[in-house]
Every structure is written in C-alpha cells, then in structure tokens.
Amino acid sequence: MFYFDYTFWLLIPALLFAIYAQSKVKSTFHRFSRVSSSSGLTAAEAVAEILRYSPAAVVHIDRVPGHLTDHYDPRKKVLRLSDSVFNSTSIAALGVAAHEAGHAIQHAQRYPFLVMRNAFYPIASFGSNLAFPLFFIGLIFGGGTTILMDIGILLFSAAVLFTVITLPVEFDASRKALAILKERGFLNAAELHGARVVLSAAAMTYVASTAIAAIQLLRMILIRGSRD
C-alpha cells in the first residue's frame, strides 16, 4: 500500500527536522518571552508605532485567541496578534509582532514574492486539496492508465511551489522586522540578538514545511515511475 511503500523512508529526516523546528520555536519563544524589552512597549504598541510611519499606515491591529497565532491578513489589511503577544513587552513578542508588521509593509510596497504568493494561493490551495485523492484513486483503480496520478502530481507541484515562494517572503519580513526594531530603538543590541534567535527559529518551520512538501512530491514521482 502507498503508506508502506519503499519511498516512505525518504520522509523520515524531513519529519524529524519538522519536529525539531516546532520544538525549537516553542522553546525559543518561551525563553525570550520571559525577558522584557528595555523600551517597555507592548507588542501592540510597537506595531502601532511601526505602522504609523510606514507605507502600511492604514492597517488595523486586532487581538486573536491562541498562542503564536499571529498573522497579517492582506485581504482585510488587518494585523492580528495572539493573546501571548498582544500585551507582552517581551523581546520575543516584539520580534514576532514586528515580523507581522514586515508582512504589512511588504503588502504596501508590493513586494514581488508576496504578490506572487497571494496570486498563487488559490491555485496552490486547489491543488493541495485534490492532489492526493486523485493520486490515490489513480494508484488503486487506475488499471493500465496513470492519467489521474499525473494530474495529482501536477496539482501537488503547485502546492510545493507555493511553499518555495513563501520562503523569501518570510525571510524578508524578518529582515525588515529586525531593521525596524533597531532603527526605532525598540530593542538594544543584546535584545535584538534575542529577537533574531526567535525569528530564526520560526523560519526553520517554513524550511521544514518546504522540505516535507518537496519530498512528498518526490515520493509521488517515484511511485508513478514504478507503474511504467
């Protein structure tokens, strides 16, 4: 069966890396969430200041439930900060909040990779939802034809490409965040190092997701090739 095929071992290193990345981002955030910034600003206050003097000044700031559920919604131009970040004055909270502000600035400046990712999202979402069902049907009931498997691979390729496009978007948002935190004096040199550690750990989760998606695609291609 597909779940126990000979290609499964290819996923193991990527899955271990993903587990490590998730553990790293949680432990790193927890570590630096206990260290308050010298500026005394909450994450929400810092973001408001960042956006006030940026091209993304019209963005609204909301609070959302959860832990590390922070995100920027480009459709509604809303930056949402989680319960664990919104009112926190910690180095970790300011780093995460500034990262999301970086996405808002990207949107306002029409950062090419963000524009590409937003435009590609519907295709990637459609492909991700249909790829495996079609591939499974083609694998089990395809008989002498592999057309459904080929369509599944093509659709999943779009999802993989989306994860690849996401990487420069996330890296650039973190770069912008650290630059702004330094320029505005929200964090001093030592605190800035802590924020960089937090954002670097978060970036690892995106790298891990891309690695898993790419290996899944490779598995599909190898299984498809074994049917010839």
Task: Summarize pLDDT for 33-48 with one digit per residue, the tens.
Answer: 999 999 999 999 999 9
Q: How far is CA 29 from CA 25, 162, 213, in A?
A: 6, 26, 25
Q: What percentage of the chain reaches a pLDDT higher than 70? A: 96
Q: Is 49 among the residues known to form the active site?
A: no
Structure tokens at 187: 């964090």
Q: Which tops the pLDDT comparison, 54 or 1?
A: 54
pTM for this prediction? 0.89
The predicted model gives 158-179 an average pLDDT of: 96
What are 104-162's pLDDT values in tens digits?
999 999 999 999 999 999 999 988 899 999 998 988 886 667 899 999 999 999 999 99
Residue matched to tokens 């004055």: 89
Q: What percentage of the chain reaches a pLDDT higher than 90? A: 78
Q: How confident is the model at residue 29 (pLDDT cuts 50, 70, 90)?
A: very high
Q: How confident is the model at residue 228 (pLDDT cuts 50, 70, 90)?
A: low
- Residues in contact with 201: Cβ distance below 8 Å, sequence separation at least 6, in sequence order: 21, 24, 25, 28, 29
Confidence at residue 59, expressed as pLDDT on a 0 to 100 scale: 85
* Phi-psi domain of 139 (left: phi exceeds 0; alpha: psi -120 through 50; beta: other): alpha
Confidence at residue 179, expressed as pLDDT on a 0 to 100 scale: 95
Query: Looking at 100, 170, 183, 191, which residue is catalytic?
Result: 100
**What distance lies between CA 67 and its chain's CA centroid?**
15
Contact yes or no for 106/74 (Cβ under 8 A): no
- CA dihedral (82, 197, 28, 189) positive or negative: negative
* Phi-psi domain of 143 (left: phi exceeds 0; alpha: psi -120 through 50; beta: other): left
- Residues in contact with 21: Cβ distance below 8 Å, sequence separation at least 6, in sequence order: 201, 204, 205, 207, 208
Structure tokens at 81: 């900060």
Confidence at residue 1, expressed as pLDDT on a 0 to 100 scale: 42
Nearest to 104 by CA among 48, 37, 165: 48
d(CA 95, CA 37): 10
Highest mean pLDDT: which of 48-62, 65-79, 141-155? 65-79
